[in-house]
């Protein structure tokens, strides 16, 4: 039986092979605090680092991915590498978290096999960046509970009042949904592509309120100031509808690595 390898290769992103990327990598470390370098092949470059095989083999990974503090460390390190290269200027194709190869030869073989697809994605996304926008509505459970029926209140009155309250609650939800859709429509008109994510779990996001829109927008760099000021304008108006608007970014185009399929 062959010895287990000591190290695997964790790949973060793919870019075109250029000097600016190599410079940006000098100061950044990866998920295992390892130096990150470029694996170059055929004009492409995979940003990758060597990680302990024992920690990143299949069994270990599938267990560790359910360990939230570990997952957070890996996610933040992954993002740190992608951010460092994005800041250097070139178009970056981020890879999904925990893309692990046996060795550098495997990375080069991937760059060869998937070269055409990777190049066309780099062309499509060049000069563009991703912005995230989330909209929150007040938590429905925050509404005051109706008082218990008093002796002087008939059952019929009580039920009528409950129905009115339910109706007001549904009306509030409907208005929040409509306002969120309006925000999305406005921003989608300023973006080349959009992606909708499922609403975030408030226990994980630690945000008060209900997440009613969780969207990503692909925006050309030159239009970024226009887009962000549009978000600021919407955020200023949102409290009037009882909503809160939040912007994140610029992100590497995580949400747009595969073209829009109609």
Chain positions contacting another protein, by CB under 8 A: 8, 11, 14, 56-58, 61-62, 65-69, 71-72, 75-76, 78-79, 86-87, 89, 93-102, 106-107, 109-110, 113-114, 118, 121, 129, 132, 195, 197, 200-201, 203-207, 214, 216, 221, 224-225, 228, 247-251, 254-257
Q: How far is the CB of 217 from another protein (least distance, A)?
A: 13
Structural tokens at position 90? 């070139």
Torsion of CA 39, 93, 119, 193, to 10 degrees: 180
CB 224 within 8 A of CB 247: no
The candidate with the shortest Cα–Cα distance to 84, out of 13, 23, 24, is 24
Rounded to whole angstroms, the Cα distance separating 135 from 179 reads: 9
Structural tokens at position 188? 């989608």
CA distances from 32 to 60, 70, 108, 146, 177 (A): 14, 11, 21, 54, 42
Structural tokens at position 183? 């925000």
Q: Which is nearer to another protein, 104 or 241 (CB)?
A: 104
Q: How far is the CB of 258 from another protein (least distance, A)?
A: 8
Q: How far is the CB of 216 from another protein (least distance, A)?
A: 8
Q: How far is the CB of 210 from another protein (least distance, A)?
A: 14
Q: Which residues contact 188 (CB under 8 A, 6 or more apart)?
A: 194, 217
CA distances from 102 to 25, 38, 50 (A): 22, 16, 10
Q: How far is the CB of 22 from another protein (least distance, A)?
A: 17
Q: Which is nearer to another protein, 37 or 106 (CB)?
A: 106
Rounded to whole angstroms, the Cα distance separating 238 from 245 reads: 7
For 107-124, b where at least 16 C-beta lie within 10 A, e where not — what string?
bbebbeeeeeebbebbeb
Q: Which is nearer to another protein, 101 or 179 (CB)?
A: 101
Q: How far is the CB of 27 from another protein (least distance, A)?
A: 14
Q: How far is the CB of 204 from another protein (least distance, A)?
A: 5
């Amino acid at each position: 039986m062959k010895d287990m390898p000591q190290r695997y290769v964790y790949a973060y992103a793919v870019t075109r092979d250029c000097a600016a990327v190599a410079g940006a990598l000098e100061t950044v470390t990866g998920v295992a605090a390892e130096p990150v370098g470029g694996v170059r092949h055929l004009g492409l470059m995979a940003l990758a680092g060597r990680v302990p095989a024992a920690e990143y083999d299949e069994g270990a990974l599938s267990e560790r991915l359910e360990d939230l503090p570990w997952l957070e460390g890996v996610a933040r390190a992954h993002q740190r590498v992608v951010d460092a290269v994005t800041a250097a200027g070139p178009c970056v194709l981020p890879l999904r978290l925990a893309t692990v190869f046996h060795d550098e030869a495997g990375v080069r073989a991937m760059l060869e096999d998937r070269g055409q697809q990777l190049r066309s994605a780099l062309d499509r996304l060049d000069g563009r960046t991703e912005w995230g926008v989330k909209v929150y509505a007040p938590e429905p459970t925050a509404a005051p509970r109706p008082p218990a029926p008093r002796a002087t209140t008939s059952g019929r009155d009580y039920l009528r009042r409950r129905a009115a309250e339910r109706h007001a609650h549904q009306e509030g939800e409907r208005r929040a949904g409509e306002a969120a859709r309006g925000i999305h429509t406005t921003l989608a008109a300023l973006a080349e592509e959009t992606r909708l994510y499922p609403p975030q779990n408030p226990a994980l996001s630690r945000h008060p309120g209900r997440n009613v829109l969780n969207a990503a927008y692909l925006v050309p760099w030159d239009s970024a100031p226009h887009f962000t000021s549009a978000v600021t304008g919407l955020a200023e108006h949102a409290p009037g509808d009882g909503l809160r608007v939040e912007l994140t970014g610029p992100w590497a185009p995580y949400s747009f690595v595969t073209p829009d399929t109609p």
